[in-house]
Copies of this chain bind each other. A is one copy, B any other.
Amino acid sequence: MKKKVLTLLKEADGYLSGQDICEKLEVSRTAIWKVMKQLREEGYQIESASNRGYRLLEVPDRLTEAELGSRLENSLFGKNIIYKEEIDSTNIEIKRQAEAGALEGTLAVAEFQRQGKGRRGRAWSSPKGSGIWMSFLLRPQLRPENASSLTLVAALAVSRAIEKVAGLSAQIKWPNDLVIGGKKICGILTEMSSEMDFIHYAVVGIGINANIKEFPEELPYATSLFIEGGREYNRAELAAVVLKEFESCYQEFLAEESLERLLSDYNSRLVNRGSQVQVIKGDESLSGIARGVNAQGGLLVETESGIETILSGEVSVRGVYGYV
């Protein structure tokens, strides 16, 4: 209901009469009045003029269910949105939802994560109200060994969305980060619950350093869209575009259970492509030129003894510019 009113307000060219809203949504004037009050409390500036109706003057930079939902009509991710001011971790929330039987597309967004998670249980810094911290639920009919490609699909979606919304070129640092000028702008954490040959569900968590003004000294290799672009971006708009891009890339991926159709775009956004990389696996390391990823998401590295395929997530890759 709040989402629908918001959608109408956004679509309206100028004033929208209370009578119109009542008729379109088949609700009472009192119900409309209550929703307007709620929206104002959430930071929306809504003018009301007698005989003319309501007019939306300003949208707050928030990632509420209504704000995201109004941008995700007819999308996989618009049907079940969980918004929290504060949460332990959006990945953990989606796992809870999954275990309780939630449908594919269920989305969790929070303004602040107390236990934001990076890979292998590392912490992910998620300051309040300035980033995009979100996770969503997938139930793909994939073999578990193909699920790691979901991280690559998400990276491509984020890169495309940042380009569209902010006009910035965020490159993909295979497998699960995005960087601008060698500094981290986004991290992706894909988790999975599976049997041998069957995925119960996958959780894709995406953290984007959107409007963060500055980072502490301990994070010298992090940056934000604000720092790189010199202005604030509408987080709900960016989040919605990421999710729409993901949905589109996900369909392409599922159609062939391979990254084939996404490869050329993905590889054109790969930060290390054509440059010297060092692949570290346990105590061993391997040097060569990164040539791109293949349709299974493996990184192709040209070494003196030929092309080696590095399995997704099996290693950490260091570029020559020293960024880890």
A283 to B237, CA, bound (A): 43
CB distance A193 to B192 under 8 Å?
Answer: yes
CB distance A196 to B120 under 8 Å?
Answer: no
Contact residues, A117-163 vs B (CB, 8 A): 119-120, 143-145, 147-148, 151
Question: Shortest CB–CB separation between residue A58 and chain B, in angstroms?
Answer: 40
A230 to B26, CA, bound (A): 72
Of the residues B144, B189, B198, contact of A195 by C-beta under 8 Å: B189
Q: Counting CB contacts under 8 A, is A176 at the interface?
A: yes
Question: Shortest CB–CB separation between residue A270 and chain B, in angstroms?
Answer: 17
A151 to B197, CA, bound (A): 12
Total identical chains: 2
Residues of B within 8 A of A143 (CB): 311, 314
A194 to B195, CA, bound (A): 11
CB distance A313 to B190 under 8 Å?
Answer: no
Listed A/B pairs (24) with beta-carbon separation below 8 Å? A119-B195, A119-B196, A119-B198, A120-B198, A143-B311, A143-B314, A144-B144, A145-B145, A145-B311, A148-B196, A148-B197, A175-B196, A176-B196, A189-B195, A190-B196, A191-B193, A191-B194, A191-B195, A192-B192, A194-B194, A195-B313, A197-B311, A197-B313, A198-B313
